Amino acid sequence: MSYTIDEQLDILMRGVEYGDPQTYQHMREELKTRLQESAQTGKPLRVYCGYDPTAPDLHLGHTVTMRKLRQFQDLGHQAIFLIGNYTALIGDPSDKDKARPRPDKDKIAANAQTYTEQALRILDPERTEVRYNGEWLSELNFEDLINLAANFTVQQFLARDNFAKRYRKNDPIWLHELFYALMQGYDAVALETDVQLGATEQLFNLMAGRKLQESFGQKPQIAITMPILVGTDGRVRMSKSLGNYIGISEPAEIMYGKVMSLPDEAMLNYFNLATRWTPSKIATLEKRLATGKLHPMQAKKELAWEITDIFHGSEATDKAAQRFARVHQRREKPENMPTFELREPMRLIDVIAEAELASSKSQARRLIQQGGVHLDDVQIKDIYATVEPGEQVLRVGKRRFLQLRPKT
């Protein structure tokens, strides 16, 4: 299907936010000009978004910009999936009120291995260029860094909201944190991009790319920023470190269940940012919810089915929906549960950690203290509780079950 330039523009600018109407209008006009030039020359636009491999799994929050990348692909443009193996050494400070912990290179490399496979669940493999920014950032020398830094003032960095808050509170702002925007900006130079995508709080970094491209004699890229997807708590952005994430590689039943656990007020955010639904469908759902013609539970089921279907297909999604209804709505235990054998009494915390129902013993302890652990439907709140060998069912949270059995 062919689209006019104005139709393409409407598709590509849908959902874009800057917090400033003038910036929106300016970027829209620049993108229109660039689309017209592309149509005249037959040369596709080079569009990229970077993802730092600070954790092994991509989550639903990452897919907001990936969907926009896919829209560019579907309109015939070149998408670049950039893995930030060098920017990850610092970590983007854009949305942080303190410095990020610095991961080591081996951990970053291990995390990055899975990123491409996960991303290609959304992007078109035949039209996706995968790059690592270590290709060029590792080649910069100290003189190069000085030349990049000479394009900015310290005041520009300290005016950023997160740095300004830390400065007022006399909290430390580490020098290496200022390098992040330079590194991300140089990515645009190295890739010679026409468009960069990012989250709204990354606008400074994207504009840094424009500045550096101009200093290198390139045409400045169009910056397109998208709002954040809130986590399963419905309050703050989705993050693996906060535990409020939905991983795109998680099993269908886990993904479906996590969406069903969303607070009602978070649904519209997911309607707009995490589905394939058209604006007209979203508007209809929103109106029916507001007038009481659609129950929030039913709307959430539609949302859970849509998101799970994107990553797992309809057959697996139907099974996940049936399992959710059986286990959570009718309070039945799942038909097939993983098993854990005990030869002798074990601490409950150790069982949960060894069975990987929690990422660590510390998390297992917190789950018990928060009342999220049940043994044969009896809530356990004693962190020193032990489990005797025998036929029992352990439930951690709302969705994870484990069949305990004596080891023979």
**Sequence ranges of the domains in the chain:** 5-226, 252-329, 339-406
Q: What is the mean pLDDT of residues 288-298?
A: 88
Q: Which fold has domain 5-226?
A: Rossmann fold (3.40.50)
Question: 257 with 324: CB under 8 angstroms?
Answer: yes
139: confidence class by pLDDT, cuts 50, 70, 90: very high
Q: What is the mean pLDDT of residues 59-88?
A: 93
Residue 140 in this model has a pLDDT that exceeds 90: yes
- Nearest-angstrom CA–CA distance, 107 and 29: 42
Q: Regarding predicted confidence, which is higher, 58 or 197?
A: 197
Residue 100 in this model has a pLDDT that exceeds 70: no
136: confidence class by pLDDT, cuts 50, 70, 90: very high
Sign of CA dihedral 334, 338, 339, 340: negative
What residues pair up with 405 in beta bridges, in sequence order?
Answer: 341
Q: What is the mean pLDDT of residues 234-257?
A: 87
Q: What is the mean pLDDT of residues 245-258?
A: 90
Q: Regarding predicted confidence, which is higher, 404 or 98?
A: 404
Question: 11 with 156: CB under 8 angstroms?
Answer: no
Token digits of residue 401: 């079950």
225: confidence class by pLDDT, cuts 50, 70, 90: very high
Question: Highest mean pLDDT range out of 91-105, 220-234, 346-360?
Answer: 220-234
Q: Note the maximum CA span of the chain.
A: 75
Those residues whose C-beta lies under 8 Å from the C-beta of residue 103, and which sit 6 or more positions away, are 54, 88, 89, 91
Q: How do residues 310-328 score in pLDDT, each as one tens digit?
A: 999 999 999 999 888 877 6
Q: How do residues 331-360 score in pLDDT, each as one tens digit?
A: 556 667 788 888 788 888 999 988 888 888
Token digits of residue 229: 């997807």
* Locus of tokens 């060894």: 354
Token digits of residue 12: 């590509």
| Encoded amino acid at 297, one letter | M
* Strand extents, DSSP E, 24-121: 46-51, 78-83
Percent of the chain with pLDDT over 70: 94
Looking at domain 339-406, which CATH architecture does it have? Roll (3.10)
Residue 228 in this model has a pLDDT that exceeds 80: yes
- Nearest-angstrom CA–CA distance, 321 and 86: 40
Determine the pLDDT at residue 328: 65
Determine the pLDDT at residue 342: 82
Determine the pLDDT at residue 96: 52
Lowest mean pLDDT of 49-63, 225-239, 311-325, 377-391, name the range.
377-391
The rounded mean pLDDT for the chain is 88
Determine the pLDDT at residue 177: 84
Determine the pLDDT at residue 226: 94
Q: Are strands 392-396 and 222-226 parallel, antiparallel or unpaired?
A: unpaired
Q: Name the DSSP letter for residue 229.
A: P
* Strand extents, DSSP E, 72-112: 78-83
Helical (H) or strand (E) element with 386? strand 386-387
Looking at the domain that runs over 252-329, which CATH code has it been given? 1.10.240.10
